[in-house]
Amino acid sequence: MYARRIEKLPPYLFAEIDRLRDEKRAEGVDVIDLGVGGPDLPTPDHVVEAMKDAVEDVSTHTYPSYRGSDEFRGAVAEWYGERFGVELDPQDEVLALIGGKEGVAHTPLGLVDPGDVVLAPDPGYTPYRIGPILADSSPVPLPLKEENDFLPDLDSVDPQVAQDARLMFLNYPNNPTGATAPKSFFEQVVEFAREHDVVVAHDNPYSEMTFDGYEAPSFLEVDGAREVGMEYHSLSKTYSMTGWRIGMAVGNAKILEGLGRVKTNVDSGVFRAVQRAGVAALEGGVPQEYMERYRERRDLLVDVLRDLGLDAEPQRATFYLWVPVPEGYDSMEFTKLLLDDAGVTATPGVGFGKHGEGFVRFALTRSRSRLREAARRLEDLDL
Ligand SMILES: *Cc1c(COP(=O)(O)O)cnc(C)c1O
């Protein structure tokens, strides 16, 4: 019935947790879901207002342009210039996406051939593995280990793998680990990409979700990055716009052209009204009060987990806490324990790849009062 490439997709481990959570809810348990990787806070008012105006303007109702409107691409270029000091030509160095996930998943179709290797961080956002499989290429995990601050060790990549690799996905600030990367790491990446002729696709949707004064860089800030790479960005996380489906790919024009040619043939762009709302989001700036809320929640949950004897670190970016599971459990078992004994869901690390085993991810996407309630229930947990 199904194509071989569909049969090759790994089992969706999160589905099992979703099923158990729904069962608990059906039993009447008030489950506190800390597994959700999307903001609970609403889209800022000024963005909603811009959307209302845009949707009433009939000129937004027709097919959009494939690459994104001049206005949206211009706003992206302007923002990259101001925020990162990266000058982009809105004509061919910016492409609108129907969310970052769409861009990630379609990139291998434009850039790699069957049998080529694609390097994918493990643990990692699942489309870095699935996109290559859908393009009949071979994802090879780049392990992210705690002892390397969750940065891949590029020197340890097998020479044959490095030679066969055409594309490498990276993501800092990182989902699921919350890790950040110094610019010196990006410099090593550029060197690796040049040496092995690999395209770098850096995914940066959490660059604005940072705390304690940390400022996340763009990959494109580093010398030589624009010759070897591109970057994805999304309005989903920063502006609480997951449902709106808008993001962007920026960087090397030739690389973007590979993705753009796929997109031209499979989708017809982002609703013009959503692009206008996207311009309003970018021009209105990051809702800092939202970031402050995530920081408060982080501090609260870190305290709760530490009281339980878990080794939780207040990460400097993203709304995730990546926490080692206690002795005697694997990540799935510990997740089930949290659900059964406290009515709290987290995401088992193994769902992000085999190197995610031994960790669970908590998302800071619930209010402080819900987190306090979770704390009360967790206190009674016997670990
Ligand atoms: C959320 C997320 C995205 C982007 O999501 P979209 O809603 O598709 O824009 C991309 N990469 C990572 C790592 C994410 O966590």
Query: Cα of 333 to ligand 1 centre, how many Å?
Result: 27
Helix (H) or strand (E) holding 138: strand 138-143
Whether residue 87 sits in one domain with residue 197: yes
Atom of ligand 1 lying closest to residue 97 CA: 9
d(CA 105, CA 123): 17
**Tell me, what's the pLDDT at 183?**
97
Atom of ligand 1 lying closest to residue 38 CA: 1
**Tell me, what's the pLDDT at 142?**
98
Domain count, the chain: 2
Which residue, among 329, 322, 327, 296, has the nearest Cα to 309 in the 3D structure? 327
Ligand 1, atom 3, residue with closest C-alpha = 100
What CATH number did the domain enclosing 50 receive? 3.40.640.10
d(CA 281, CA 43): 9
Whether residue 246 sits in one domain with residue 105: yes
Whether residue 267 sits in one domain with residue 144: yes
Query: Cα of 190 to ligand 1 centre, how many Å?
Result: 23
- Cα-based angle 376, 381, 383 (whole degrees, multiple of 5): 145
Range of the domain at 314: 4-43+288-379
Whether residue 208 sits in one domain with residue 188: yes
- Cα-based angle 118, 347, 13 (whole degrees, multiple of 5): 60
Whether residue 180 sits in one domain with residue 155: yes
Residue 84, helix vs strand vs coil: helix
Atom of ligand 1 lying closest to residue 247 CA: 9
d(CA 231, CA 216): 13
Query: Cα of 160 to ligand 1 centre, how many Å?
Result: 30
Helix (H) or strand (E) holding 370: helix 368-379
**Tell me, what's the pLDDT at 157?**
98
Whether residue 349 sits in one domain with residue 223: no
**Tell me, what's the pLDDT at 14?**
82
* Residue 163: both structure tokens together: 């030679």
**Tell me, what's the pLDDT at 206?**
98
Which residue, among 103, 142, 151, has the nearest Cα to 120 in the 3D structure? 142
Atom of ligand 1 lying closest to residue 103 CA: 8
Whether residue 145 sits in one domain with residue 201: yes
Pairing of strands 320-324, 359-363: antiparallel
**Tell me, what's the pLDDT at 12?**
79
* Residue 298: both structure tokens together: 């982080």
What CATH number did the domain enclosing 347 receive? 3.90.1150.10
Q: Answer with the one of 234, 251, 284 that is the final residue of a domain.
A: 284
- Encode the chain (383 residues) as per-residue pLDDT tens digits: 899 999 989 887 788 889 999 999 999 999 999 998 999 999 999 999 999 999 999 999 999 999 999 999 999 999 999 999 999 999 999 999 999 999 999 999 999 999 999 999 999 999 999 999 999 999 999 999 999 999 999 999 999 999 999 999 999 999 999 999 999 999 999 999 999 999 999 999 999 999 999 999 999 999 999 999 999 999 999 999 999 999 999 999 999 999 999 999 999 999 999 999 999 999 999 999 999 999 999 999 999 999 999 999 999 999 999 999 999 999 999 999 999 999 999 999 999 999 999 999 999 999 999 999 999 999 888 77
Query: Cα of 30 to ligand 1 centre, how many Å?
Result: 28
Whether residue 207 sits in one domain with residue 162: yes
Query: Cα of 300 to ligand 1 centre, how many Å?
Result: 25
Which residue, among 60, 83, 103, 122, has the nearest Cα to 275 in the 3D structure? 60
Kindly report each contact of residues 151-154 with a partner whose C-beta sits within 8 Å and lies 24 or more positions away, as own/partner.
151/179, 151/181, 151/185, 152/119, 152/121, 154/188, 154/189, 154/192
Region for residue 330 given its phi and psi (left: phi exceeds 0; alpha: psi -120 to 50; beta: otherwise): beta
Does the reported pTM lie above 0.95? Answer: yes
Whether residue 327 sits in one domain with residue 226: no
Ligand 1, atom 4, residue with closest C-alpha = 100
Q: Answer with the one of 259, 284, 309 that is the final residue of a domain.
A: 284
**In which residue are the tokens 């809105």 written?**
90
Ligand 1: which of 40, 129, 175 to mutate, most ligand atoms within 8 Å of CB? 175
Which residues line the pocket of ligand 1, CB cutoff 6 A? 37, 99-101, 125, 171, 175, 203, 205, 234, 236-237, 242, 247
Whether residue 26 sits in one domain with residue 147: no
Whether residue 298 sits in one domain with residue 243: no
Whether residue 32 sits in one domain with residue 96: no
DSSP 276-342: HHHHHHHHH---HHHHHHHHHHHHHHHHHHHHTT------SBSSEEEEEPPTT--HHHHHHHHHHHH
Q: Answer with the one of 284, 307, 336 that is the final residue of a domain.
A: 284
Atom of ligand 1 lying closest to residue 232 CA: 10
